[in-house]
Chain A
Amino acid sequence: MEGLYAITTGVLTACGLYLTLRGRTFPVVVGLTLLSYAVNLFLFSMGGLTTDGATIVDGPASYADPLPQALVLTAIVIGFAMTAFVVILAMRARSEAGNDHVDGREEERQ
């Protein structure tokens, strides 16, 4: 189970990173979103993978580690705010620069 989880995280990371290396804004935004999923999964797993546990006191017998959960919870929300900001920034950049290249200028063809 841990191996599979790790492989999944790795694949998502690789996909996200590849997209953030693209030259146009939209794939970069999508890539950042994907990357934030991967990072959240990674951080979440730092507390170990608990099946049928809970973070409720006096709840089920097995406890899950609550600290990574609390951190990831805020990370998800902040991640949304950042995605939104980057999207709008991309729109604004396109409006100001006239193109959607990440550097604000069309690259010369190599």
Chain B
Amino acid sequence: MTLLWIALLPLLGVLVPVLTARRGRHFCSLATALLPALALLLTLAQLPALNAGEALRFSVAWIPGLGLDLAFRLDGLSLLFNLLIIGIGLLILLYAHYYLSPEEPFGRFYAYLILFMASMVGIVMSDNLLLLWLYWELTSLSSFLLIGFWSYRSDARKGARMALAVTGGGGLALLAGLLLLGNMVGSFDMNVVLASGELIVADPLYPVMLILVLLGAFTKSAQFPFHFWLPHAMAAPTPVSAYLHSATMVKAGIFLMARLHPAIAGSELWSVIVPLVGIITMLYGAWFALIKTDLKAILAFSTVSHLGLITVLLGIGSPMAVLAALFHILNHATFKAALFMSAGIIDHETGTRELGHLGGLRRAMPVTALLTTVAAAAMAGLPLLNGFISKEMFFTETLATPVLGGLSWIMPALATLGGVLSVAYSLRLVYAVFFKSPRQEPPKSPHEPPHLMRFPVELLVVICVLVGIFPAALATGLLGLATQAVLGEALTFYLSVWHGFNLPLAMSFVAIVAGIALYWRHPYLKSFAKSFQPVDARLVFESAMQCLARRAESSLARFDGGSLQRYMGLLLFAALVMGTLGLAGMATLTGSRGNQPLDGVLLLGAGLLIFGGIGTVLTHRHRLISLLMLSVVGLVVALTFARFSAPDLALTQLSVEVVTMILLMLALFFLPQKTASESSPRRNLRDMALAGSLGTVIASLNYAVLTRDNDPISSFFMENSVPGGGGHNVVNVILVDFRGFDTLGEITVLALAGLAIFKLLNRLRLFMPHSDNEGRVWSPDCYPMILTTISQAILPLALLVSAFIFLRGHNMPGGGFIAGLITAVALILVYMSRGVEWVQYRLDFPYQPVAIAGVAIATLTGLGSWLFGKPFLTSAFGYFHLPLVGKFELATAMLFDLGVYLAVVGATLMILANLGKVTTVHRPIKQPESSDTERSTKEKS
């Protein structure tokens, strides 16, 4: 359980800065530090158990179907990284507290930072491959947010995008690799994977898997040729560079190689690819660190170089090499974070990071100068500092490795060359900033930073020195545990400062002397470097991205022409093909049940339907006639329902028909008077053929179903309607009880449609025709007298009817839907006969809340059953006796139906009344004197 808390506390901590940002920066910083600090303490509290050799694991199934478990482990390797991640993270937090300027949104910054910390902790503690990958992606995302934190700067945005593209792409490769790995082993559980090294290496897919996993690791850890994103990520605020891009995130790839070492490292392929990539990266990074002039760029390239060094060690893979790699991870994190923070301080206090503008700062900032010099000396690998020891170990391992066969002697030579360059750029960094006289004055006059801002640097530098002098006492325990976690067995070793006069010491000596000489000859070097055309990775990357986007667009345009008619055509064609195939597989169209006899009424009805349908099509360019034809179809459909024993449907269809027609009539006013003749005859013919054949398919299908015996599930509803739902009208009981959840969804859709229409009508610029296409002016007559009078009398009656329909709905045809529609129709009639203003004056309330209240009542009714420990939407009912009234029934379904009723009334009126309102406000008003035929609209109403 403690493990879960270690992993979760930082994740919870993401919320803290967001919540406390308003209470000032001091409070916010302290509060933010609290949860990670707690996680750090919890981690440390596990030390005794780890030393005792216990395996600390925690696992809960998350998505067992995918093999994804919420599984965490804490072994030596996780411990080492956890200390780095959380420990340095807290120092960075302190540093950022002073680094960010007062007006910057520090709450957001802290939240991103802690999110990153949480995802890093997740990576190193994951005990499941898929979980590890999830956290891996999370680091890419949070690093994107952090690099792009100053989003107003173009370089920050581009740097962030580049980092995301490279590391995210690597993440995808990693996912593929991990899935392959999991399939080989048959489990995503880390223990199983780590124990099956031989099985994995023997698998035929091993090379593919290895390359994919290494792609993930190399992109994350900025190995050549994927190193280019790291220098551009330096557009981030310096605390981010110090934290993500030196101490932690770029170590994630290294971590992955270390974590999976027992599983995937035991092959020729590994020991060729990994050391080679590592050594190229090391030299490449070191060379650019030597010629760059931006302080952070120098540090970025030196980071690339050191990551290469660690990769070489992991590639060599002998126990001592692994130990050296882990030791160097620790050392590099301390001195590089210190250096980055110093660079940030220099930038902060002088206003520039260009070496040309800096110089002689040792007078203004003596303490910072001392700290930076010591940290840089550790980076160069000078004796009595931690970098020296791990570098000696590195040299020793390169001398011993047989990875390149007969050419293995190259490794120590190249390693020494890396050492030379490393000494040279470290020297250059310190000398140019603090000792050389400046060529140009920096923008601000420098002075020492606030003490607490410098504190993290001091602490890290002290660690560098202490570990450099007493390595055995300070680092042995931690490294022992970590090495054991990687190798699977304990390794006995002794870290010492002095190994006697031997070859590695000579290599160190060569590196130092040659490094100093190289820096002495630095001007020649620079002019040599200048003779090459500089390649800006950002430009190359950006143009590649843009090219990709253009390609994507053009290929998309081929499939997506933006023509609705074409989509419809293709869709219908596909439906036609599928339908035809299905029908063709049938032996006979007419099933066993055969036809029922026809009668005259049916013939008439069918004739009317067909007439209406075809009439609608034929007259579709004469809008009004077409609508009339459509309403014929609607009415006969209602009659059809009535004829075939569906009174509920008939009532619903009838009232919906009324509402639909009024809506379409209203819309006629706003849409073009005349539908242009659009399509060519050929196209018309094609559409006709398509629609006609689909119609045939549908008809055949319908006939086939109708003449076959079916075995419906409806008997269940019939049997349980009264005992289970307390209603005799099965259709209504299905709506409000059996399938109540569907109904709830449907009224929600209805209310949403109403709201969407309300928004669509908002600020609508309308084309208000003054006359129709034959030149007749739209009649601004007053409302007809007879309609006015009748509608007033009908309204209360209609409301009564709808109440009746509503109440009887549970047992007889009726219910909330129908009652709601009847109410809506009655109200709309008043609108039509009296005008919007008249109604609004008397009925002054918005309909949106009505619809929302309806959905809310229905939902609450459903939730209510939870109070009684029943599933959502379980209905209850009872029969009561009252004097005079007699026996009657009360059911919660009634309440639900009330919600349906309100939602229907609200949504329908929201749609129609809002549309109607639009007509009154914008309606063109002509002055009475302007023309005889045009009269003012308003005064009558």
- Cα–Cα, bound, A26→B617 (Å): 12
Judge whether A70 and B734 touch: CB under 8 Å.
yes
- A66 touches which of B563, B730, B767, B904 (Cβ 8 Å): B730
Judge whether B660 and A33 touch: CB under 8 Å.
yes
**In the assembled complex, which residues on chain A have CB atoms less than 8 Å from the CB atom of B630?**
30, 33-34
**In the assembled complex, which residues on chain A have CB atoms less than 8 Å from the CB atom of B823?**
none
- B664 touches which of A9, A10, A29, A38 (Cβ 8 Å): A29
Interface residues of A (CB under 8 A from B): 1-30, 33-34, 37-38, 40-42, 44-59, 62-67, 69-70, 72-74, 76-85, 87-92, 94-95, 100-103, 107, 110
Judge whether A94 and B767 touch: CB under 8 Å.
yes
- If the complex has contacts A6-B700, A100-B672, are A15 and B764 also in contact, measured as CB distance less than 8 A? no
**In the assembled complex, which residues on chain B have CB atoms less than 8 Å from the CB atom of A73?**
648-649, 652, 731, 735, 817
Judge whether A55 and B731 touch: CB under 8 Å.
yes
Interface check B569, CB cutoff 8 A: yes
Q: List 19 A-B contacts (CB under 8 A).
A: A2-B596, A4-B603, A5-B606, A9-B702, A13-B691, A13-B695, A15-B617, A15-B695, A17-B572, A18-B692, A27-B626, A34-B630, A44-B646, A47-B714, A66-B734, A73-B652, A89-B760, A91-B760, A102-B564
Interface check B703, CB cutoff 8 A: yes
Nearest residue in A to B643 (C-beta to C-beta)?
Answer: A51
Interface residues of B (CB under 8 A from A): 562-565, 568-569, 572, 595-598, 602-603, 606, 609-610, 613-614, 616-617, 620-621, 623, 626-627, 630, 633-634, 637, 640-641, 643-649, 652-653, 656, 659-660, 663-664, 667-668, 670-672, 675-676, 678-680, 683, 687-688, 690-692, 694-700, 702-703, 705-707, 710, 712-714, 717-718, 721-722, 728-731, 734-735, 739, 742-743, 746, 749-750, 753-754, 756-757, 760-761, 764-767, 811-813, 817, 821, 904, 907-908, 911, 915
B602 to chain A, nearest CB (A): 6
Interface contacts beyond A44-B644, A84-B911: sample of 16 additional A-B pairs, CB < 8 Å, sorted by A? A3-B703, A8-B609, A9-B702, A17-B690, A18-B617, A18-B688, A21-B565, A22-B620, A34-B613, A38-B698, A41-B637, A52-B645, A57-B721, A62-B645, A76-B653, A84-B753
Judge whether A8 and B675 touch: CB under 8 Å.
no
Closest 4 CB pairs of A and B: A10-B699, A14-B695, A6-B703, A18-B691
Judge whether A11 and B614 touch: CB under 8 Å.
yes
- Cα–Cα, bound, A83→B91 (Å): 61
Judge whether A74 and B690 touch: CB under 8 Å.
no
- Cα–Cα, bound, A16→B659 (Å): 20
- A88 touches which of B672, B700, B760 (Cβ 8 Å): B760
Nearest residue in A to B766 (C-beta to C-beta)?
Answer: A95
Judge whether A57 and B712 touch: CB under 8 Å.
no
- If the complex has contacts A37-B633, A57-B728, A67-B734, are A103 and B564 also in contact, measured as CB distance less than 8 A? yes
A38 to chain B, nearest CB (A): 7
**In the assembled complex, which residues on chain B have CB atoms less than 8 Å from the CB atom of A94?**
670-672, 767
Nearest residue in A to B597 (C-beta to C-beta)?
Answer: A1
Judge whether B695 and A11 touch: CB under 8 Å.
yes
| A contact patch SS | helix
- If the complex has contacts A89-B760, A100-B671, are A67 and B713 also in contact, measured as CB distance less than 8 A? yes
B433 to chain A, nearest CB (A): 59
- If the complex has contacts A19-B616, A53-B645, A73-B817, are A9 and B698 also in contact, measured as CB distance less than 8 A? yes
Judge whether B694 and A13 touch: CB under 8 Å.
yes
- B644 touches which of A4, A49, A63 (Cβ 8 Å): A49
- A57 touches which of B597, B621, B675, B730 (Cβ 8 Å): B730
**In the assembled complex, which residues on chain B have CB atoms less than 8 Å from the CB atom of A66?**
714, 717-718, 730-731, 734
**In the assembled complex, which residues on chain A have CB atoms less than 8 Å from the CB atom of B644?**
44, 49-51, 64
Judge whether A48 and B565 touch: CB under 8 Å.
no
Judge whether B698 and A10 touch: CB under 8 Å.
yes
**In the assembled complex, which residues on chain A have CB atoms less than 8 Å from the CB atom of B743?**
74
- A45 touches which of B617, B705, B731, B761 (Cβ 8 Å): B705
- Cα–Cα, bound, A7→B742 (Å): 31
Nearest residue in A to B742 (C-beta to C-beta)?
Answer: A74
**In the assembled complex, which residues on chain A have CB atoms less than 8 Å from the CB atom of B563?**
103
**In the assembled complex, which residues on chain A have CB atoms less than 8 Å from the CB atom of B702?**
5-6, 9-10, 42, 45
- Cα–Cα, bound, A23→B620 (Å): 12
- Cα–Cα, bound, A41→B638 (Å): 10
| B contact patch SS | helix
A65 to chain B, nearest CB (A): 5
- Cα–Cα, bound, A7→B909 (Å): 36
A77 to chain B, nearest CB (A): 6
Judge whether A51 and B645 touch: CB under 8 Å.
yes
**In the assembled complex, which residues on chain A have CB atoms less than 8 Å from the CB atom of B613?**
11-12, 15-16, 34
Judge whether A1 and B718 touch: CB under 8 Å.
no
- If the complex has contacts A23-B565, A77-B817, A95-B764, are A70 and B731 also in contact, measured as CB distance less than 8 A? yes
**In the assembled complex, which residues on chain B have CB atoms less than 8 Å from the CB atom of A2?**
595-596, 703, 706-707
Judge whether A10 and B696 touch: CB under 8 Å.
yes
Judge whether A46 and B705 touch: CB under 8 Å.
yes
- If the complex has contacts A23-B678, A102-B564, are A17 and B714 also in contact, measured as CB distance less than 8 A? no
**In the assembled complex, which residues on chain A have CB atoms less than 8 Å from the CB atom of B596?**
1-2, 49, 51
- Cα–Cα, bound, A37→B612 (Å): 12
**In the assembled complex, which residues on chain B have CB atoms less than 8 Å from the CB atom of A23?**
565, 678-679
Judge whether A69 and B646 touch: CB under 8 Å.
yes
Judge whether A25 and B671 touch: CB under 8 Å.
yes
**In the assembled complex, which residues on chain A have CB atoms less than 8 Å from the CB atom of B765?**
95
**In the assembled complex, which residues on chain A have CB atoms less than 8 Å from the CB atom of B633?**
12, 34, 37
B606 to chain A, nearest CB (A): 5
Judge whether B656 and A49 touch: CB under 8 Å.
no
Judge whether B699 and A26 touch: CB under 8 Å.
no
Judge whether B616 and A91 touch: CB under 8 Å.
no
A89 to chain B, nearest CB (A): 6
**In the assembled complex, which residues on chain A have CB atoms less than 8 Å from the CB atom of B660?**
33, 80, 83-84
Judge whether B675 and A24 touch: CB under 8 Å.
yes
Judge whether A54 and B678 touch: CB under 8 Å.
no
- If the complex has contacts A74-B743, A81-B750, are A26 and B714 also in contact, measured as CB distance less than 8 A? no
Judge whether B667 and A87 touch: CB under 8 Å.
yes
- If the complex has contacts A33-B660, A95-B766, are A11 and B609 also in contact, measured as CB distance less than 8 A? yes
B629 to chain A, nearest CB (A): 9
- If the complex has contacts A19-B617, A21-B691, A24-B675, are A77 and B729 also in contact, measured as CB distance less than 8 A? no
- Cα–Cα, bound, A76→B818 (Å): 11
Judge whether B907 and A8 touch: CB under 8 Å.
no
B2 to chain A, nearest CB (A): 52
- Cα–Cα, bound, A102→B687 (Å): 16
Nearest residue in B to A70 (C-beta to C-beta)?
Answer: B734
**In the assembled complex, which residues on chain B have CB atoms less than 8 Å from the CB atom of A54?**
645, 647
- Cα–Cα, bound, A92→B766 (Å): 8
B579 to chain A, nearest CB (A): 11
Judge whether B692 and A14 touch: CB under 8 Å.
yes
Judge whether A55 and B603 touch: CB under 8 Å.
no
**In the assembled complex, which residues on chain A have CB atoms less than 8 Å from the CB atom of B646?**
44, 55, 64, 69, 72
Nearest residue in A to B646 (C-beta to C-beta)?
Answer: A69
Nearest residue in A to B820 (C-beta to C-beta)?
Answer: A77
Judge whether B750 and A77 touch: CB under 8 Å.
yes
Nearest residue in A to B683 (C-beta to C-beta)?
Answer: A110
- If the complex has contacts A21-B569, A21-B690, are A67 and B757 also in contact, measured as CB distance less than 8 A? no
Task: Report which residue of A50, A80, A90 has the largest number of chain B beta carbons within 10 angstroms of its beta carbon.
Answer: A80
Nearest residue in B to A37 (C-beta to C-beta)?
Answer: B637
**In the assembled complex, which residues on chain B have CB atoms less than 8 Å from the CB atom of A45?**
702, 705-706
**In the assembled complex, which residues on chain A have CB atoms less than 8 Å from the CB atom of B670?**
91, 94
Judge whether B718 and A80 touch: CB under 8 Å.
no
- If the complex has contacts A44-B649, A67-B712, are A7 and B699 also in contact, measured as CB distance less than 8 A? yes
Nearest residue in A to B903 (C-beta to C-beta)?
Answer: A77
Nearest residue in A to B605 (C-beta to C-beta)?
Answer: A8
Judge whether A80 and B656 touch: CB under 8 Å.
yes
- A30 touches which of B627, B714, B721 (Cβ 8 Å): B627
Judge whether A56 and B811 touch: CB under 8 Å.
yes
**In the assembled complex, which residues on chain A have CB atoms less than 8 Å from the CB atom of B603?**
4
**In the assembled complex, which residues on chain B have CB atoms less than 8 Å from the CB atom of A22?**
565, 620, 675, 678-679, 687
